[in-house]
Structure 1
């Protein structure tokens, strides 16, 4: 029989939902920091700016309000980010077709290029790390990925 005191600390902690939440939070944040550190040194964009480019890449043209809701930031903050990206040529702005008060944001070729280069670099780093795992560990991650996506998108 195995007693709780005989288990490694991490195993003891994840036996409860609160423990799992704590361990998962820590692991995801550390992985995020590692991935953020893999940015190309010549990439001038912030993580928030890259996230905005990614949202446009996945969803197509969006209004500033839609981008703000998607990224869970206030519209004035999103307006500042969009303005900076537009000045750099990463996105373009145009008036909304039916509502002149709104601005639609479009990903430019320059924005797409910097996003894809950034993703390729990070994916390469993560692919190297994944190759060091066992087939069973990679299978667990394949199964966990949709769950993590659902958690990230839930309110």
Structure 2
């Protein structure tokens, strides 16, 4: 088999020295992005944008939130969040209602339809990843098990 050339899509990236923090950071960045991109492909029949799905996911995790709280959680400007909420409301995935204790404030919450959309989306992507995990050794799966909480901390910083 001929060696991959630098112009071929299968060519390997320059070797990174994983013993250095810079090399590890580079390898993690590249491979986390590739994995995230591949997982996103599994949402092939979902008409929602990634930002809309992210808002639904945030509401699923935290419950009803104000538009300002959602904007802060998603790190976007309030006018952008207002547009996203309006789009989601139009398709029946969120509703707006008065805050339980502060009638001046409006909160956004998921509809039952949104819960189904999220569950179907998660199920499809997790099934793909579970299948991929089945293709690696038990020892490699154990390494990933140990790395998962570390990656969660890195992502949350």
Provide the TM-score with structure 2 as the length reference.
Answer: 0.86
Aligned residues: 145
Q: CA deviation at 1:19?
A: 1.3
Matches within 5 A, 1:113-152: 113-152=116-155
Aligned residue number for residue 76 of structure 2: 73
| Long gaps (5+) in structure 1 | 1-7
Counterparts of 2:104 and 2:30 in 1: how far apart (Å)?
42
Aligned to 1:57: 60
Does the CA-based 8 Å contact 1:86-1:92 persist in structure 2?
A: yes
Q: Give the equivalent residue in structure 1 for 2:22.
A: 18
Deviation at 1:96, TM superposition (A): 2.4
Alpha-carbon distance change, 15 to 9 in structure 1, aligned in 2, over 3 angstroms: farther
Cross-structure match for 2:7? none
Q: Which runs of 4+ in 1 moved over 3 A?
A: 97-102
Match of 1:44 in 2: 47
C-alpha contact (below 8 Å) 1:64/1:104 kept by paired residues: yes
How much has 1:98 moved relative to structure 2? 4.3
1:34 corresponds, among 26, 35, 38, to: 38
- 1:93 counterpart SS class: strand
Tell me the CA shift for residue 100 of structure 1: 4.8
Counterpart-to-counterpart distance in 1, 2:105 and 2:153: 30
Task: Name the one with the larger helix percent.
Answer: 1
* TM-score using structure 1 length: 0.87
RMSD after superposition = 1.6
CA distance in structure 2 between the partners assigned to 1:52 and 1:67 by the alignment: 7
